[in-house]
Amino acid sequence: MKTKAFAAFNEVDDLIPHELTRRVLTAEDVAIDILYCGVCHSDLHTVKGDWGKPSYPVVPGHEIIGRVSAVGADVTSYKVGDLVGVGCMVESCQHCHSCDEGLEQYCENGMIGTYNSTKSKHGGVTYGGYSTAIVVEEKFVLRVPETIDAAAAAPLLCAGITTWSPLRHWNVKAGDKVGIVGLGGLGHMGVKFAKAMGAHVVMITTSIEKGEDAKKLGADEVLVSKDADQMKAHRSSFDFLLNTIPVDHDVNPYLNLLKLDKTMVMVGAIEPLSSVHSGLLIGKRRNIAGSLIGGIKETQEMLDFCGEHQIVSEVEMINMDTINEAYVRMQKSDVKYRFVIDMASLKGE
């Protein structure tokens, strides 16, 4: 199957038009006509080689929404015309402990990313959603509720599940005091999910303006982290903190906010933290943990929850040929809160 795409051929030049040949449909595969694809900061990091030299050409995109265009002979869960999604992974070994537990993202033999993975059992390199079509194994296809805005649902496949998974794993519940640290693509989803779960949601930010935005998204309260008096007033009062700050920063002031035995989960900074004062952990048996996306079952549960509660991302729609400008703006945090590509612009519709 020939498909139009946009690709990066090195770490310096802009993404440009490209043509892909998708694999022939197997009995277990679903072919998807891509309607929308979210733009994740991971896309930018990958094409720029920030996490190691990728396998160029790179066709990014792992927040994919589309409609089924064909199914293999053994596919039972989907039919042509269904609204579906594909997230950050398209294969895993399916036999290790993590996969058996429905945690394919932690596959002990290495999950296969939707793009820039070189160990797919189908051969070659995986290419993502900056394209008009994709072929994916049925097990890694997700059903998207028809009741939500399909375009705004795209970032749920990465930003959404990245925040949903820790909230669920650490059992955030009605009445908990939950702090969301940082308001961006991840943070704004954390606010929406925690609020829908019944928590008392506090936006923790350095910016009063972002705090006002967070209230519009559902936050009950704003804590300005640069204000020492405010931080002191909230000390040892939080049941859970979701830290979405995407770069190294001083985590110690936030640790002081946690109650005895409570946890701050890191989902933003995928790099070393410069310092952690262990006394803040020891003194109240606090925890720092990390979390990575979610498994397929958990992601489907999130999508179903979004359908029930009418939760989607706040998005700005762009055409495929403006992706390079979007990357520049994304580096400046000049988007509220995720870009989504309308693939009709690539198809010439």
∠ CA 301-156-51, rounded to 5°: 115
Alpha carbon 173 to chain centroid, angstroms: 22
Which residues are bridge partners to 180 per DSSP?
203, 242
For residues 283 and 318, membership in a common domain is answered with: no
Amino acid identity, position 230: Q
**Do 36 and 141 sit in the same domain of this protein?**
yes
CA 178 – CA 97 distance, rounded (Å): 31
14 and 100 inside one domain: yes
Q: Are residues 186 and 252 in the same domain?
A: yes
Taking CA 107 as the corner, what is the angle to CA 10 and CA 121, rounded to the nearest 5 degrees? Answer: 60
Q: Looking at the structure, do residues 40 and 150 belong to the same domain, yes or no? A: yes
Distance CA 341, CA 332 (A): 19
Whole-number pLDDT of residue 349: 75
DSSP H helices, the chain, are 41-47, 97-100, 150-153, 159-169, 187-196, 208-217, 228-233, 252-255, 278-282, 296-309, 323-331, 344-347
Q: Are residues 43 and 191 in the same domain?
A: no
On whether the CB atoms of residues 19 and 3 are closer than 8 A, the answer is yes
Residue 72 falls in which region: left (phi positive, over 0), alpha (psi -120 to 50) or beta: beta
What residue numbers bound the domain in which 103 lies?
2-158+294-347
Q: Tell me how crowded residue 153 is: count the other CB atoms within 10 A of its CB.
A: 26
Query: Are residue 154 and residue 176 in the same domain, yes or no?
Result: no
Which residues are registered as beta bridge partners of 319? 342
Judge if 62 and 82 occupy the same domain.
yes
Q: What is the Cα–Cα distance from 66 to 27, expressed in whole angstroms? A: 20
The pLDDT of residue 8 is: 98
For residue 29, the domain's CATH number is: 3.90.180.10
Same domain for 66 and 107, yes or no, is yes
Residue 154 DSSP label: G
What is the pTM (predicted TM-score) of this model?
Answer: 0.96
Q: Which has the closest alpha carbon to 161: 63, 72, 28?
A: 63
Look at residue 141 in the predicted model and tell me its pLDDT: 98
Check: CB of residue 283 under 8 Å from CB of residue 259: no
Per-residue pLDDT of the chain (349 residues; tens, 9 = 90+): 899 999 999 999 999 999 999 999 999 999 999 999 999 999 999 999 999 999 999 999 999 999 999 999 999 999 999 999 999 999 999 999 999 999 999 999 999 999 999 999 999 999 999 999 999 999 999 999 999 999 999 999 999 999 999 999 999 999 999 999 999 999 999 999 999 999 999 999 998 899 999 999 999 999 999 999 999 999 999 999 999 999 999 999 999 999 999 999 999 988 899 889 999 999 999 999 999 999 999 999 999 999 999 999 999 999 999 999 999 999 999 999 999 999 999 998 7
145 Rama class: left (phi>0) / alpha (psi -120 to 50) / beta: beta
- As for how many domains the chain has, the answer is 2
Domain end point (choices 290, 320, 338): 290
Same domain, 126 and 219: no
- Domain final position from 264, 290, 316: 290
Confidence at residue 1, expressed as pLDDT on a 0 to 100 scale: 85
- The answer to whether 142 and 296 are in contact (CB under 8 A) is yes
Length of the chain: 349
Q: Give the domain CATH number at 184.
A: 3.40.50.720
Question: What pLDDT, on the 0 to 100 scale, is given for residue 348?
Answer: 85
- From 261, 290, 319, the end of a domain falls on 290
Q: Both 326 and 219 in a single domain?
A: no
Residues 18 and 106 both lie in one domain: yes
